Structure 1
Amino acid sequence: MTPYLPPECLQEIFINLVDDIQTLHSIILVNKLWYENGISILWRKPFSYDNDWNNLYKIIPIYLYFLSKETKDELEIHEISIPIKPSINYISFIRELDLYNLLMQLCEWMIDHLEITMGNMDGIVFDYLDSEYFFDIFNEVPSNWFTKISKLEYDGQHLLKKFQENAYNINSLSFGFHTFIPDFIPSISSLISTQNNLVDLDLYLGYNDSEIIIFEIILTLTTNCVHSLKSLSLASGGNGIVQNVKELEMLSRCNHLERLQLRNVEFTNYNNNNFLFEFSNLTSLELFDVRMVSQNSEEDLVNLIKQIMKNSKLISLDLEPFIGDKYCNLVESIPHHCSNLTELTLKINDTYENTMVAILTILPLFNNLRILRITEDWGGIQLDGDIYINQLSLILPNQLQIFNITGLLFSDEHLNLFLEKCCSNLKQVVLLLKYYDDKHEQIIKSYSLERNKVIEDIFVSIDSRSEITINWK
């Protein structure tokens, strides 16, 4: 009897292979069933995979092959060369389309297909970011197509209205504007207000010389997405987003919010520690370059952050706010509010020696910590890592798997000692050395061999000092 797997087992296998392109290419050779499932996954988002691995431009002719005769005539596309005519309508499997990558792959295909001779070329221009071309394309798309969109990543200025009028089922929405334009705010708010079930909003508002006010967006979120929003990321460049503390209180009404990320945000109008909010379902919090404008700005910001952590369910915490001496106090308070953390990111520099002491004090209190990052604060100088090796070896959690310690600077003669004392259970470590050469690579390989740790890769980034990332299998 031919062995077989039950459908539920096969389904579980295929689900776990969604991003494993190499394996997907292998399983399509097993049998017809595996071929059909593998092909449907590979074509789900064909222009989003790694270009070098797949040589994706080679599938452009297949894509063009399935265009209607009318479209081919209009585009003057004739006799498209395909080695074997497709027996399956691959295009029907597409669920996610990256227009930028599609156009880039089309360029690659044109260069390969047309066999352009560089010696005869006077010039070539391919303006793939020209919004007018995108505008023309989208004007031809039937309105009912937009109703099927559930995920939108957008960086532009002219297409929002088309989405506002026709896209109602977006659950993941991401904006990445390079330059802030005030008209974005009402347009984004309008788009949010039309969604039936917005779950994830990632908003980068670009650079601006003056403050960015987002009250309209916050009001829309807390009016339309109270029961759906689970993840919110707000960020900008330049002078940053200005947010009244009352807006944070408004956000706390989103009672299913699990992830909150604020980058380059300035809080204003803080009064008397009188907080009226609670993020009871929050599991992930990231605060980077967050500031407070008030009479006692640092102390007030510490109290604000403590209130966010209080009564939460945080398992992932990244605290890199704009705080000076009070940062140490904030670090010391973490275990009182977040004892179940599995991931923690903190910052240090030469002015934060007390903070390093606080970190060493709190680490033994985390029984579930898997990922720890102690990074460099901007504008500072790394502390001498050599003097902390013995202390770290005594208090690092046994279950720790990933350790980024780029807030400390280690001398080359202490590399082996650090590996021996601090890395025995790790799958990844990221550290800074004063310099790096073949001698250090040999130290890493010798240590790994002695400990039966198989190196997956070693990545070295050399700037003013050497940042080394070691991955073990």
Structure 2
Amino acid sequence: MTRQLPVLPADCISEILEHLDKDICTLHSCLLVDRLWCKISVKILWRDVWNCKYYCYQRSILSTLVACLPKESKELLHEREIFISTPTPKPPSFSYEKFCKVLPIYKMCIKIENVLNYELPPTFNIKERNFLVINEIIKMYTNQIYSLKKLTYYNYKEYRDFSFTCFPGVRSLSELGCSSNLPSDFFNQMSQICQNLQSISIRFNSVEVSNDLKELISLQNNLKHLTLTAFFDASWKDIIPSLTKHLKTITKLYLYSDKDNLSLSFVSSFSNLQEIMFSFYNEADFKDLQYAHFPRLQILKIPYRCYHYSVYKHIMKFLETNGSNLKKFHTHEHDPMLSLSIPRFCTNLRSLFIILKSGELNTLANIFTSCQYLESIGIWCGCVYLSEEKVLEIVADHAPTNFCELKIYNISNSEFVTPEDLELFFMKWNNRTPKKLFSLIVYKSNYNSHSLLNERSMKVIKKYERLGVTKLAIKMYREDAEEEEIRMEEIS
């Protein structure tokens, strides 16, 4: 007699699959289990579907959405001789558009245009054709989405002939990304229906800011996260008075700019900041901020390099004032004195990203010795920076008890380390007390085609993976890009 396995309740299956939200391949496999698993997996896959990077997925998404279009939209496309193939001639199994929780209009427009330009034959009115398809899809979204979490709307040319006040999903919105030069009626409409935004990201396109945008910010009741981006001649100066109401509620502040004359003095007014990111290409006015005290600050990120020596001095002073509270510090600056200030002022760090050159091994050892709560560190290796072999040696001999994750950005054309070096490191790690699973994440440049690990090295790693000592992940990155987690999502 065949023993039947117990059937899990729907909420248990949903809880399990939620942990796979970034594992697209596994979620696709879950679609084939049964209808319940399929329904739960589809909801997860489609809530942020435009985040996909691969063309084959983008083409499938577009064809599925076209199949979901209402009858009048399909007839309109056929009248204009726009024929887009659908997965099957039958109606779709689900109303996929209703599952959308994240609507990035700019990103969606670009991906739809790419597919249309590649799949459909060229015509004299390509722009009009693309506009029509995109507009019908957006109209369908506005009519069918009843619970939207995030909307990003960055470009004036994206503005379509529909009203956001008639978009039921916007009423549940918690995150908004927009450009300062969007039409005033957009900000007016959002002010009427969205007064509980928790996160606002604004890309400034000019010095002047409309009163409608200022009012939208002032009307919010629970604003926690704020991102301000100003490049070229744009400025966020005019928006600062509108932030007065939110000085105590904002906990996360991101500032991006290529200007060196934008004052940061207003930042010190946010008394409850827990996370700050400064991303400046030139010298920023850190002088006004270096003595500011943020008693709740836990995360500080400075991903882009500043090219003026005085900036380092101001950042060091900032760390002297606030470093003891930091749990995470990421800097893409390289300055020996700045690096030496970390073990002096940031002794409670859990996560660190830092750039050290080949002569700064002692600095890395000092960081491990002083930062006894450190769990993860990311560094560049190769060329003029530290060698992987020396880094592993320092980690084995000096890493504190809680340390368990090493992220290495390999920028050279050489192999990672020799099998003998790996064997020695894992033997030392295996003898640690207490022993923690060691996570080794190696980021390899897309522009380097060499193999990081030869067959013998892989055998060593597989051996210690079976023993439960380590796990390895090799990921790709671009040499001209910063760490993915600290890049702004939609800078075009």
Q: Same fold (TM over 0.5)?
A: yes
* 8 Å CA contact retained: 1:131, 1:156: no
Letter in 2 for 1:250: S
* 8 Å CA contact retained: 1:40, 1:93: yes
Say if 1:342 and 1:186 are closer, same or farther in 2 by CA, change over 3 A: farther
1:309 corresponds to:
323
* CA positional deviation for 1:394: 0.9
2:242 is the alignment partner of 1:220: yes
2:97 corresponds to:
91
2:345 corresponds to:
334
* CA positional deviation for 1:363: 0.3
* 8 Å CA contact retained: 1:231, 1:260: yes
Mapped to 1, the partners of 2:479 and 2:21 lie a distance apart of: 36
Letter in 2 for 1:259: E
2:75 is the alignment partner of 1:60: no
2:460 corresponds to:
447
Letter in 1 for 2:200: L
Mapped to 1, the partners of 2:475 and 2:43 lie a distance apart of: 34
Deviations 1:97-119 (A, max 9, x none): 233443355446646875x3x8x
Say if 1:154 and 1:388 are closer, same or farther in 2 by CA, change over 3 A: same
2:351 corresponds to:
343
Letter in 1 for 2:268: E
2:199 is the alignment partner of 1:172: yes
**Which range moves more in the overlay, 224-233 or 184-193?**
184-193
Q: Give 3-state SS (helix, strand or coil) of 1:427's partner.
A: strand
Q: Give 3-state SS (helix, strand or coil) of 2:439's partner.
A: coil
Aligned residues: 431
2:150 corresponds to:
none
* 8 Å CA contact retained: 1:57, 1:108: no
Letter in 2 for 1:198: L
Mapped to 2, the partners of 1:102 and 1:460 lie a distance apart of: 24
Letter in 1 for 2:285: F
Q: Give 3-state SS (helix, strand or coil) of 1:29's partner.
A: coil
Say if 1:304 and 1:164 are closer, same or farther in 2 by CA, change over 3 A: farther
1:192 corresponds to:
217
Mapped to 1, the partners of 2:254 and 2:314 lie a distance apart of: 22
- The residue correspondences of 1:127-138 to structure 2 (distance < 5 A) are 133-138=157-162
- The residue correspondences of 1:64-463 to structure 2 (distance < 5 A) are 64-76=66-78, 82-107=88-113, 110=116, 114=120, 116=121, 133-138=157-162, 142=166, 146-154=170-178, 157-159=181-183, 161-166=185-190, 167-176=194-203, 180-183=205-208, 189-208=214-233, 214-221=236-243, 223-237=244-258, 239-240=259-260, 242-244=262-264, 246-251=265-270, 253=271, 255=272, 257-264=273-280, 266-267=284-285, 270=288, 275=291, 277-288=292-303, 299-310=313-324, 312=325, 314-321=326-333, 324=335, 326-335=337-346, 338-339=347-348, 341-349=349-357, 353=359, 356-375=361-380, 381-382=384-385, 390-397=393-400, 399-405=402-408, 415-422=418-425, 425-430=438-443, 437=450, 441-452=454-465, 458=474
* 8 Å CA contact retained: 2:187, 2:213: no
* 8 Å CA contact retained: 1:268, 1:293: no
Letter in 2 for 1:267: D
Q: Give 3-state SS (helix, strand or coil) of 2:201's partner.
A: strand
Q: Give 3-state SS (helix, strand or coil) of 1:305's partner.
A: helix
Mapped to 2, the partners of 1:247 and 1:282 lie a distance apart of: 16
* 8 Å CA contact retained: 1:400, 1:426: no
Q: Give 3-state SS (helix, strand or coil) of 1:266's partner.
A: coil
Larger strand proportion of the pair: 1
Q: Give 3-state SS (helix, strand or coil) of 1:419's partner.
A: helix
* CA positional deviation for 1:5: 2.4
TM-score by length of 2: 0.70
Deviations 1:240-267 (A, max 9, x none): 46334x423212x2x2x32211122623
1:5 corresponds to:
8
Mapped to 2, the partners of 1:374 and 1:110 lie a distance apart of: 41
Letter in 1 for 2:225: D
Say if 1:316 and 1:122 are closer, same or farther in 2 by CA, change over 3 A: same
Q: Give 3-state SS (helix, strand or coil) of 1:400's partner.
A: coil
Q: CA RMSD in A?
A: 4.5
Deviations 1:442-473 (A, max 9, x none): 34324324434688664577979xxxxxxxxx
**Which range moves more in the overlay, 227-236 or 6-15?**
6-15
Q: Give 3-state SS (helix, strand or coil) of 1:307's partner.
A: helix
1:471 corresponds to:
none
* 8 Å CA contact retained: 2:47, 2:101: yes
* 8 Å CA contact retained: 2:409, 2:443: yes
Say if 1:283 and 1:109 are closer, same or farther in 2 by CA, change over 3 A: same
Q: Give 3-state SS (helix, strand or coil) of 1:3's partner.
A: coil
* 8 Å CA contact retained: 2:17, 2:41: yes
* Percent identity between the two aligned chains: 19
Deviations 1:76-122 (A, max 9, x none): 559975432124433322222233443355446646875x3x8xx78
Letter in 2 for 1:150: S
Q: Give 3-state SS (helix, strand or coil) of 1:233's partner.
A: strand
1:51 corresponds to:
54
Mapped to 1, the partners of 2:169 and 2:18 lie a distance apart of: 26
Mapped to 1, the partners of 2:167 and 2:476 lie a distance apart of: 49
* 8 Å CA contact retained: 1:348, 1:407: no
